Amino acid sequence: MTTLYDKVNLDCAKLITCSYSTSFSTGIKVFAKKFRSPIYAIYSFARYADEIVDTFHDRDKAKLLDEFEADTYEAIDRRLSLNPVLHAFQLVVNKYGIEKCLIHAFLESMKMDLIPIQYDRPTYETYIYGSAEVIGLMCLKVFCEGDDLEYDALRDEAKALGSAFQKINFLRDIKADYQERGRVYFPKVEFEDFSEREKQEILDDILSDFNKGLSGIKKLPKGAQFGVYLAYVYYINLYNKIKKATVFQVKQERIRVRNRRKLVLLAQSAIKMKFNLI
C-alpha cells in the first residue's frame, strides 16, 4: 500500500525529473500510469548523483558522493529514508527487485568523473555500462514486473539503447565536458584535433546501438513501449542533427532538438504507435 509519505516522495521525484529533462519527462508521461512513478524515481536518483559530480565545485564531491552512496544502501535496507529522492528510489528497488550490483556500477561510474582519466576502450565501456546501460536495466526491471524470462530476453537491447543515448550525450556535450570539466570520454580522441573521420566512426557505433535498441523497443510491454520509443525518436533526431553538423559546429555549440520539433515528433510517434508502424 502506498502511504501519503510514499506519495509525497514520489511526487518529489516527478518534480525533479520534469525540472531537469523535458525529453525524458515527456516520454514518461506517455507510459502506462503504473510505470510513471517508478521511472521518475530512477531518473531523479541518477540525476542527483550526477549533480554531485557536475555541479558542486566548491564542495568535497568525493565526500558528498560517498555519503550519498551510504545513504542509498541504508535507505534500501531500512526501506525508509528522510531524503525524498532516496525514499522514492528504495521503494522501486525493493518492489521490483533491482539488484544492488546495478546500483553499485552506476555509483562507481559517477566516481570516475571525480578523477582525471584518459579514456581507453576498457574504461570507456566501463563508464558507459555504469552511467547508462544499468539505468536502462533498472527501467527494464520495472517494465517486466518480475518476469525474469522477459527481462533476460531484453537485457542486451536495453543496454544498447542506454549506450546510444549516453554516447549521443557525449557528442552533444563535448565542448562543455572538455572546457568545464576537462573530460573527453571517447577513447583516443583529443578535443582540439577531433576530426570528421572520428566523428563518423562514433556515429556508426551509435547507429549500431540504436538499431539493436529499436529491436528491443518492439518487444517491450505495451504500457512501456510508447514512452521508450518517444525517447528513441528524440535521440535519433538529435543524432541526425549532429550527423549533419560539422565537427567545428559540434565543438562550438550544444546541438539540440527544439521543443516545437519535439511536439511534432510526439504527434508523429503517436500515429505510428496507433497503427503499429514502428
Which pLDDT tens digit goes with each residue over 84-140? 999 999 999 999 999 999 999 999 999 999 999 999 999 999 999 999 999 999 999
Is the distance from CB of 153 to CB of 199 less than 8 angstroms?
no
Ordered domains of the chain (ranges, CATH): 1-115 (1.10.600.10), 118-278 (1.10.600.10)
Which pLDDT tens digit goes with each residue over 57-75? 999 999 999 999 999 999 9
Is the distance from CB of 129 to CB of 114 less than 8 angstroms?
no
**Model confidence at 1: pLDDT above 90:** no
3-state secondary structure of 82: coil
Which pLDDT tens digit goes with each residue over 162-210? 999 999 999 999 999 999 888 999 999 999 999 999 999 999 999 999 9
How far is the CA of 177 from the CAs of 37, 78, 113, 256, in angstroms? 31, 37, 10, 16
The predicted model scores a pTM of: 0.95
How far is it, in rounded angstroms, from Cα 146 to Cα 165? 25
Alpha helices, H only, the chain: 4-20, 22-29, 33-55, 61-78, 84-96, 100-112, 121-128, 134-144, 148-172, 174-181, 196-217, 222-244, 247-252, 259-274
How far is it, in rounded angstroms, from Cα 111 to Cα 105? 10
How far is it, in rounded angstroms, from Cα 16 to Cα 156? 29
